Amino acid sequence: MGGTLEKIRDSEEKLLFRTYGRYPLGIAKGSGNRLWDVDGREYVDLLAGIAVVNLGHCREELAEVMAAQARKLVHVSNLFYQEEQLELAKRLLDTAHFSKVFFCNSGAEANEAAIKLARRYQQRVKNKYAYEVVTFEGCFHGRTLATVAATGQERFQDGFMPMPEGFRQIEWGSSEALEAAISDKTAAVLLEPVQGEGGIRPVSGDFIRKVAEICRKRGVLFMVDEVQCGMGRTGKYWAFQHFGVLPDIMTTAKALANGLPMGAMLGTDEVSAAFVAGSHATTFGAGALVSAVASKVLEIMKRDNLPGRAAELGDWAIRRFRSAGEACPGKIGEVRGMGLMIGIELRQSGKEVWEKLLRKGFILNLTQEKVLRLLPPLTIEREDLENFAQALEDALRTS
């Protein structure tokens, strides 16, 4: 790596809290499915800013909306009506069975809103003092105190005790464990249809349908976290739509405004009664600028049928990566995923393979030590994925 990166690194060391373990790369610019580092090297982006930049980097259509809205109105707060929010809400609600939206600024905030809504629904609509949220081992719901409690992993909770009360974690995929975990205190179940940080672990259709049924039967809200797996990535707008279930509450964020910070919580008519004026709020949520951009994102997704593209290309890619595994016996444990949310689980630590791929110009993520995680822009070309598959075979052969 060049001298520029060293300088950036030294400067960062003095200026920023050390919360991030960075990749050895400084990114200077992006366009479409490509990124360039500070030394001018080009990369194929198979990570999309962690499932955020679904329509590719610096897309002209979005830049135009951004520039025009920046000159018209950026922010006035939620003390005022803003039509930009309504256009976005209509487009978003058009993608699923929900009837109301609350906008915020991140995935964790969307989950906080869902947790608060679930508690308030039980306590004020159902007049029942229920507050507990059941989550699943391997999940990730964010880094605020409540969402880190929901996430339930020691490495995210270390040194932050005590955790907020009201969360309970059970085995992923066990409906017996769910039946046993639900009590009078249970307000909701929160589930990622495809666990992202947990290593790309899709839920089984049988299990998610069982969860929905148990929730219905026991008077518990069924909530899905689609912060990572939503927005067309798995081949439908929302991953739960593969399974014929109808959650009460859904959260989303990452790809909603293609890189500008935005989150949303969607709910059915039934649960929406639990929030009244003053129940919940955010200063920044759905400002005019970010709303205009997110509207355009949804317009493009529909116009270009990006969920359909993700389904088709994803099916092909998963088959292609499996054949890469067959070409290099003993190296790949499993290739799994849905649409363009793909995990390649290696039999050993993936660090060396990941580094080799980075040196060959492919940006992706390594999660759970052994899982190469691909979350490319939904605009990625088949040729880019084919080149990656060949680079992967090379990397596996020499590791």
Q: Which two tokens stand for residue 13?
A: 């060391």
Position 373 contacts ligand PLP (CB under 6 A): no
Position 106 contacts ligand PLP (CB under 6 A): yes
Cα separation of 154 and 371, whole Å? 20
Position 202 contacts ligand PLP (CB under 6 A): no
Position 196 contacts ligand PLP (CB under 6 A): yes
From candidates 59, 141, 233, 320, binder to ligand PLP by CB under 6 A:
141
Cα separation of 300 and 248, whole Å? 27
Cα separation of 351 and 379, whole Å? 27
Helix (H, G, I), strand (E, B) or coil at 260: strand
**Which residue, 342 or 392, has its beta carbon nearer to ligand PLP?**
342
Q: Bridge-partner residues for 223, per DSSP? A: 190, 249
| Neighbouring C-beta atoms of residue 68, cutoff 10 Å | 11
Q: Bridge-partner residues for 100, per DSSP? A: 267
Q: Which two tokens stand for residue 104?
A: 């915020």
From candidates 225, 248, 345, 384, binder to ligand PLP by CB under 6 A:
225
Which span sits near ligand PLP by CB under 6 A: 33-41, 82-90, 103-111, 385-393?
Answer: 103-111
Beta carbon of residue 232, minimum distance to ligand PLP (angstroms, whole number): 15
Beta carbon of residue 190, minimum distance to ligand PLP (angstroms, whole number): 10
Q: Which residues contact 125 (CB under 8 A, 6 or more apart)?
A: 271, 273, 274
Beta carbon of residue 230, minimum distance to ligand PLP (angstroms, whole number): 9
Helix (H, G, I), strand (E, B) or coil at 189: strand
From candidates 85, 228, 252, 291, binder to ligand PLP by CB under 6 A:
228
Beta carbon of residue 207, minimum distance to ligand PLP (angstroms, whole number): 17
Which residue has its beta carbon closest to ligand PLP? 107
From candidates 253, 262, 293, 372, binder to ligand PLP by CB under 6 A:
253
Cα separation of 25 and 37, whole Å? 6
**Which residue, 221 or 223, has its beta carbon nearer to ligand PLP?**
223
Which span sits near ligand PLP by CB under 6 A: 139-147, 236-244, 306-314, 321-329?
Answer: 139-147
Position 142 contacts ligand PLP (CB under 6 A): yes
Position 140 contacts ligand PLP (CB under 6 A): yes
**Which residue, 85 or 251, has its beta carbon nearer to ligand PLP?**
251
Beta carbon of residue 108, minimum distance to ligand PLP (angstroms, whole number): 3
**Which residue, 140 or 275, has its beta carbon nearer to ligand PLP?**
140
C-alpha angle 80-83-88 in degrees, rounded to nearest 5 = 120
Q: Which of 81, 124, 147 is nearest to 271 (CA)?
A: 124
Cα separation of 143 and 385, whole Å? 32
**Which residue, 131 or 140, has its beta carbon nearer to ligand PLP?**
140
Q: Which residues contact 5 (CB under 8 A, 6 or more apart)?
A: 24, 25, 26, 37, 38, 39
- For the chain, what's the residue count? 399
Beta carbon of residue 151, minimum distance to ligand PLP (angstroms, whole number): 8
Beta carbon of residue 47, minimum distance to ligand PLP (angstroms, whole number): 13
For tokens 């049924």, name the residue.
213
What are the phi and psi torsion angles at 356 (to 5°)?
-60, -40
Beta carbon of residue 286, minimum distance to ligand PLP (angstroms, whole number): 15
Beta carbon of residue 197, minimum distance to ligand PLP (angstroms, whole number): 6
Which span sits near ligand PLP by CB under 6 A: 21-29, 104-112, 357-365, 366-374?
Answer: 104-112
Residue 361 carries which side chain, given as an amino acid letter? G
Position 49 contacts ligand PLP (CB under 6 A): no
Characterize the bridge pairing of strands 186-191 and 132-136. Answer: parallel
Helix (H, G, I), strand (E, B) or coil at 270: helix
Binding site for ligand PLP (CB under 6 A): 106-108, 111, 140-142, 192, 196-197, 225, 227-228, 253-254
